[in-house]
A = this chain, B = another copy of it.
Amino acid sequence: MDLSFLRAHDAVRDTAPLIQCLTNKVVSNISANALLAIGASPAMVDTPDESQDFAKIASGVLINCGTPNSEQYAGMREAIAGATAAGNPWVLDPVGAGGLEKRTEFMHEVLPQGPTAIRGNASEIIALAGTGAGGRGVESTDGVEAALEPALKLSRETGAVIGVSGPTDLIVQAGERPRAVSLESGHPMLQNVIGTGCSLGAICAAYLAAWEDPFAAIIAAHAHVGAAGSVAAETSTAPGSFAVAWLDALHELTTDAIEERISASEVADVAELS
């Protein structure tokens, strides 16, 4: 397929989008560093007092439900209201959907407000679509291919582009002409570093802010993160040094180098499923 949309990477570098992250405390540091590494500007503003106003001036917003306390839930509601009011893109990362009841309720509460994209692992997407039970906590116990139909359903119901992360990534968009792209990139070691997936959620928001077509933006974001993983795996076989090399690669990769390191193909039978 035509991969010219990978130039979204250059658009992120050129525009330095300001990305507001309401994310979990475990990954806030690596997520902010990942945003800086790709040329975006992170702001981890997540309190109820400040989130709505900030979401109106931010280029994009990430809502990540990894460790939500009551104030952060309130902040998330405010941020979504602000982003929606200003027409800014926002990404939902449904960490732990299905397995954890309270946060799953919250996700269902905000889904009707129309996230621009939803990025999760297969178990989370399946659970959010109401077609499965969710993973073991925050782990995926389902294969990516099992998430195709649920992702289409979720996209149809919310209007969001759905990114399903896994050994192979799946990016899905319903609509008049439903589409699904299967993306080969990355490296298994990415699963051994906490926060690479959550950082991908933040990076999706940056790509959405910098590129007009949301479907292409989400593919390009996954491609960038995955390609950086394959670079890191060339020099690092253990998670401490892999994490360092992955951040370095996020910063150093050119668009051409990303393209060389990934392969993407349209899933043929999407229209039939839809």
Contact = CB atoms under 8 A, between A and B. Distances in A.
Nearest to A102: B49
Contact of A47 (B26, B102, B238, B244): B102
A82 to B, nearest CB: 13
Protomer copies: 3
Contacts of A42: 194
A27 B29 CA distance: 6
A156 B95 CA distance: 41
Interface residues of A, number: 61
Contacts of A72: 69
Contact of A137 (B28, B41, B237, B252): B41
Interface string A24-45: 1111111011001100011111
A194 B29 contact: yes
A239 interface: yes
B96 A67 contact: no
Interface string A90-108: 0000001000111100000
Contact of A248 (B36, B195, B240): B240
Nearest to A194: B32
